[in-house]
Amino acid sequence: SYVLTQPPSVSVAPGKTARITCGGNNIGSKSVHWYQQKPGQAPVLVIYYDSDRPSGIPERFSGSNSGNTATLTISRVEAGDEADYYCQVWDSSSDSVVFGGGTKLTVL
């Protein structure tokens, strides 16, 4: 089955740029979606189809996808961005949804 690999944690200072990676075999050929989840809350979609932002999501959130790595980039990080972030794809070879293990973003 298809596996998505995320770093368990990423730390960044306020105002800096955070990059959260999602690795998978030829992930660049798939559509990647990203979710933010704060403690005790349901996940929220922040990036869909690699790089599109839903309405209401700040422009500071952006995404890219190429080769074996997809990346969620958060510019000018704020304290309120501290959360767990998950990448997700549809794996057509197994007809299943796959989530990455999640990355905890800490704002120093």
Contact footprint for another protein (CB under 8 A): 1, 31, 33, 35, 37, 42-45, 48-49, 54, 84, 86, 88, 90, 92, 95-102
Q: Where are the beta strands (DSSP E) in the chain?
A: 9-12, 18-23, 33-37, 44-47, 61-66, 69-74, 83-91, 96-99, 103-107
Q: How far is the CB of 106 from another protein (least distance, A)?
A: 17
Q: How far is the CB of 37 from another protein (least distance, A)?
A: 8
β-bridge partners, 47: 34
Residue with Cβ nearer another protein (59 or 95): 95
Structure tokens at 19: 């990059």
Q: How far is the CB of 97 from another protein (least distance, A)?
A: 4
